[in-house]
Amino acid sequence: MEYKALLFCFIASVLITPLVKKLAIKIGAVDQPNYRKVHQKLMPRLGGLAIFISFLFGIFLFFPEYNPVLKSQSWTLIIGSFIIIATGVLDDIRELSPKVKLSGQILAALVVVLGGIKVEFINLPFDLGVIEFGWMSIPITLIWILAITNSINLIDGLDGLSAGVSAIALLTISGMAVTMGNPFVVLVGSIMLGSTLGFLLYNFFPAKIFMGDTGALFLGYMISVLSLLGFKNVTLFSFIIPMLILGVPISDTLFAIVRRFVQRKPLSSPDKSHLHHCLLRLGYSHPQAVLVIYSIAALFSLAAVIFSQATMWGSFLVLLMVLFLVEMIVEVTGLVSQNYKPILNLMKSHRTKR
């Protein structure tokens, strides 16, 4: 059923996206070029609406009526996603204030928590027991959903970037859910994957439509919730798996925070130093930069799969390799600053001495 749902939602998204493009132009949901943006002409946004409509078709057509648990969880996702979509649509049309946009995200996240989807405990390694979060499970879950939702939104800077990175994350989460025997995550992940890939046909360089905040917020929201459903209430090490899968948006967001702290700028201040901007400055073309980031996202996902199957010491090794990879990406691209290159400088110094 998952393959049928994926194919159906892919075709639905391919057919719906041109209609959404016409709607975006008609209601004025367009993206104006400015100094921070790569595109040079007026572009329709609101493309995330096509992903959302395809998702709804998939949910209503493919979810089994006989399973009340799955139906209950799907309604939680539907209600929450309607709130996040409404927030994104209004922002794409009117550009909401950050406070109003954040309020919509919090409300959508609360729907998930009230629906019973939250991180309640973690089993510690070496038989050290269990950490019960109690009431803290609510803020922990809210922070996770908000962080991932906004990190997907932050990397939406090049044609096809957010959609492609999200598709890689959805493929990984769905694939791992198959091995873990989680039918809900497999089916919803397949529906989301098909809907996203259908839209990506129009969004990859040169893009005919942008997903806008409608799409970026929706994808981030759904990925954050699916990762919670797939990996909640597990060991401390397994809790790292969704962080690895979402390594690109998480690391880009974290280093944006570090960069603004180093430069003594407000956290909300925009800049042109995200990973995709850095790759463009290094001389990569628009599609090349996107494909490089796709490759990095795929490496993170592969590390997550290996991490999930490795022994405890093997997991440590994978984690160290990932951290080294992140550090090298940061130094080569200048993600923090052009002068931050401790390992590269050490290697250069060593070669000079020889």
Residue given tokens 């550090």 in the structure block: 327
Is residue 91 a known part of a binding site?
Answer: no
CA atoms of 171 and 168, how far apart (whole Å): 5
Count CB neighbours of 68 within 10 A. 9
Which residues are within 8 A (CB) of 292 and not within 5 positions of it... i.e. 6 or more apart?
279, 284
How many Cβ atoms sit within 10 Å of the Cβ of residue 108? 26
Angle between helices 68-94 and 183-203 (to 10 degrees): 30
CA 117, 239, 178, 224 torsion: positive or negative?
positive
Do residues 215 and 195 make contact, with C-beta atoms less than 8 angstroms apart?
no
213 marked as binding residue: yes
* DSSP string of 50-105, one letter each residue: HHHHHHHHHHHHHS-TT-HHHHHHHHHHHHHHHHHHHHHHHHHHH---HHHHHHHH
Q: Do you find a cis peptide bond into 125, omega within 30 degrees of 0? A: no
Please measure the distance between the N-terminal and C-terminal CA atoms of the chain and give it in whole angstroms: 61
DSSP for 128-139, please give it.
--EEE-GGGHHH
191 exposure class (CB count in 10 Å sphere: 0-12, 13-18, 19+): buried
- CA-to-CA distance for 322 and 16, rounded, in angstroms? 39
Which residue positions form the known binding site?
153, 213
Which residue positions form the known binding site for Mg(2+)?
153, 213
